[in-house]
Structure 1
Amino acid sequence: MVDHQAQDGWLQVEDFLSGTLVKGDDALDQAVSTARRAGMPPIEVAPTAGKLLMLLARFSGARRVLEIGTLAGFSTIWLARGIPEDGQLVTCEYSPGHAAVARRNIERAGAAHKVSIRVGPALAPGNGS
C-alpha cells in the first residue's frame, strides 16, 4: 500500500480544501502552535477532518461526546463547537502534560464549559469505565 502522506498531490489537495472550505481562527491556530512549542507530535486531525467532526456532531444532534486522546485539544475544540451550549464532551488524555496544554487551548477557544478532560488511561477507574 502506498503512503498517501508521502505524495505531494495529496498534500496539495488537502491544503486547497483546508484553505477553501475551512476558515481557521486564532483559537485553532494557537492550539497547533502551542502543541509544537510543547514538543507534541504533529498528529492532530487535518482542518477538513476537524470541520467534519464538528458537522457530524451538529447534524447528528449529539449532546454528549466521548473522545479518546486529547493531545493539544484541536479536535476537542472542533467537536465542542458541534454540540449545543449545554452539551458535554468528555475527553480522555493519558499524558498530564498534554492535558494541561489542551486545557489552556480549550479555555482560549471558549469551550471549557462544555469539556471535561480526564487524565490517565481511558479505562482507569474514575475515567468513566
Structure 2
Amino acid sequence: MSAPHVPKFAVRPGTTQAEWSKSDQYHNSFLLPLDEALEFALKNTEKNGIPAINVSASQGAFLNLLVKTMSAKRILEVGTLGAYSSIWMAKALPEDGELISLEVNPKHAKVSTENIAHAGLSSKARIVLGPALDTFPTLSPSPPFDLVFIDADKDNNGPYFQHARKLVRSGGVIIVDNVVRNGRVADERENTTDVQGVRNLLQIVKEDKGVDATTVATVGDKGYDGFMYIFVKEGI
C-alpha cells in the first residue's frame, strides 16, 4: 500500500506564536532597516500606557509599499492609536501629500501628534479628534482619497466602509484590518460584537457591485488574523 499523500507545504504541526513572531523578525532583519522615528513611536506609545495593538512592522511596511505603488497623495486612516501605521504611510507620501487620521480617544490623539511631530511628518499627517462616524461627513471628497486604512473598533467596520466609499476615487483602495480574528469570524459559535462587525462588513462588500475584494489571512507577530483588500472600481 502506498503511503498517504502529504501536501508539500503542509503546516508544521505545533507551531507556536513565539515561532511565528521569530519568523517575522527573521524576515524583517533582512528587509526592514531600523527606523528611529518608528521605534520612538512604539516606545512613546508604550510609555503612555496605550495598548500595543498597532500593526506589525511587516504590515506597516506593506502599507508603505502600497502607498508608493499607487503613487497615493491623499490617505484616510480610521483609528490612529499611537500613529505607528500613520507614520509608515505618511513616510511614503510625496511632499504635497496628505494623511488624515480619525481618532476618538484624546490621549491617543495627543501621543500620536507627538509621534508624528518627532518623525518630522506634521506637514503631511494630522489627527482629527472625535467619533469617526461623526467626522466622516465633514471630510471633503475633493480631491478624493486614494487609500483608506480602517483599523478601529470592529463593530463599526461596515459603516466605516460605507462612508469611505463616498470619499475614494475610482481605482482607489480600502484596507480593513483584523478581519480573520484567529478564525473566529468563520466559527458559527462565535457571536461577539467584533465578529459580528466583520460579518456585517463581508455582507456589505458582497452586495457592493462597485468593488472587488479579497481577504488575505496573515500569521506572525500579531498571531492569526488578516486584512480585507478592497479595490474600488466605481468611486468618485
**TM-score when normalising by structure 1:** 0.90
Aligned match of 2:64: 54
Aligned match of 2:95: 85
User: In the alignment, which of 41, 46, 53 is matched to residue 43 of structure 1?
Assistant: 53
Measured in 2, the distance between the counterparts of 1:21 and 1:54 equals: 13
Tell whether 2:107 aligns with 1:97: yes
**TM-score when normalising by structure 2:** 0.50
1:47-79 Cα offsets, whole Å, 9 max, x none, are 111111111001101110000111111110010
User: In the alignment, which of 78, 82, 87 is matched to residue 68 of structure 1?
Assistant: 78
1:68-110 Cα offsets, whole Å, 9 max, x none, are 1111111100100111110010100110110100001101101
Aligned match of 1:119: 129
- Aligned sequence identity (%): 37
Structure 1 unpaired stretches of 5+: none
Aligned match of 2:147: none
RMSD (CA atoms): 1.6
Bigger share in helix: 1
SS in 2 for 1:82: coil
Structure 2 unpaired stretches of 5+: 1-14, 140-162, 164-236
Greater RCO structure (CA 8 Å; 6+ sep): 1
Tell whether 2:44 aligns with 1:22: no
Equivalent pairs counted in the alignment come to 125
Q: Is the 8 A contact 1:86 1:114 kept in 2?
A: yes
Q: Is the 8 A contact 1:92 1:127 kept in 2?
A: no
Give 1:22 deviation, angstroms: 0.8
Bigger radius of gyration: 2
SS in 2 for 1:89: strand
Q: Is the 8 A contact 1:103 1:117 kept in 2?
A: yes
Measured in 2, the distance between the counterparts of 1:57 and 1:28 equals: 17
Give 1:6 deviation, angstroms: 5.2
